[in-house]
Amino acid sequence: MASPETSRIRALSVADVLRNRIFDGEIPPGSHLMEVTLAQELGVSRTPVRDALARLSDEGLLTYQPNRGFLVRGFQPKDVRDAFTVRATLESLGCRLIGERGLQYPEQERLASQLETQRKLLHDEEWTEQQALLWQDMNLEFHCSLLELAENEWLTTAVRRARQLPLIFDSKSRPHDHAALKLLFQREHSRQALSEHYRIVDALVQREVSRAESLMREHILTNRDVLIRALGADASTEALSPMAGGAVVISY
């Protein structure tokens, strides 16, 4: 008989597998997740599967319906809008926390190095899909670094939850429809985002707390609006649905 700790680890592992499949579009919205089927497929008992489904339900990725069980939740453009609005509030708070304690010199150097790497990428002669992917990774690294420097695990957990937007971003936090990357992350918009990164870091170095907080909030809300426009979602009632390969379309 498995110990409680072993069962917990198995549940976490099953949850990771299912979470990645949902984010990567392998399990589309509305899918009915059956304990027996998943247990057989993953080679585990029903207990860790049941625990994993409950965990993913708590994370907001699944919904539970009486007599039907767990279904993969569908996301609306309003979810995208709301999630970015929450991120703006949380990550701007992170900047406030950093500014209040002050950045140490090695921390300043770390951020400066990230910004320089971003600058070199965005000022290269070419702007390809691969470079857009690299920019997305660098952008995520920058925001994660700031969260780490805020030194607040509760904040980090809350932001990670707000980033969970299946059909929009995959398990690596990259947009699903890579063909649309030039629209989502056009070089001029990315350069503008980099300029905002520089201003945020400058405010943190100068310990201008309110300015850093305001700049981060504006930065994320701007990106929210760009993403919503790129998805063509002007109405809060439109539904997001998957296409082959995990691309996103808007259903009316």
Residues 103, 52 within the same domain = no
Residues 234, 212 within the same domain = yes
Distance CA 81, CA 75 (A): 11
Domain span at 244:
77-251
Residues 81, 67 within the same domain = no
Of 41, 72, 103, the domain-final residue: 72
DSSP 179: G
Residues 50, 81 within the same domain = no
Instruction: Give the side-chain half-sphere CA count within 13 A for 157.
Output: 4
Pairing of strands 239-242, 248-251: antiparallel
Residues 39, 99 within the same domain = no
Question: Given this model, what pLDDT does residue 231 score?
Answer: 67
Residues 241, 159 within the same domain = yes
Phi-psi region of 69 (alpha: psi -120 to 50; beta: other; left: phi over 0): left
Among the listed residues 196, 251, 252, 249, the one whose alpha carbon sits nearest the alpha carbon of residue 25: 249
pLDDT in tens, 54-88: 999 988 889 888 888 899 988 777 888 898 999 99
Contact between 70 and 112 under an 8 Å Cβ cutoff? The reply is: no
> For residue 89, what is the domain's CATH number?
1.20.120.530
Question: Given this model, what pLDDT does residue 18 score?
Answer: 92
Residues 122, 184 within the same domain = yes
Instruction: Give the side-chain half-sphere CA count within 13 A for 221.
Output: 12
- HEC profile for 224-251? HHHHHHHCCCCCCCCEEEECHHHCEEEE
Question: Given this model, what pLDDT does residue 147 score?
Answer: 97
> For residue 8, what is the domain's CATH number?
1.10.10.10
Low-confidence residues of the chain: pLDDT under 70: 1-12, 165-185, 231-252
Question: Given this model, what pLDDT does residue 249 score?
Answer: 30
Question: Given this model, what pLDDT does residue 248 score?
Answer: 37
State how many domains the chain has: 2
Question: Given this model, what pLDDT does residue 242 score?
Answer: 43
- Please classify residue 237 by burial: count the beta carbons closer than 10 Å to its beta carbon, then call 0-12 exposed, 13-18 middle and 19+ buried: exposed
Residues 17, 68 within the same domain = yes
pTM (global) more than 0.75:
no
Angle in degrees, CA 156, 241, 166, rounded to 5: 15
pLDDT in tens, 91-125: 999 999 999 999 999 999 999 999 999 999 998 87
Residues 105, 12 within the same domain = no
CA distances to 139, 164, 179, 226 from 173, in Å: 10, 8, 16, 16
Residues 56, 117 within the same domain = no
Amino acid residing at 152: N
Residues 116, 233 within the same domain = yes
Contact between 123 and 172 under an 8 Å Cβ cutoff? The reply is: no
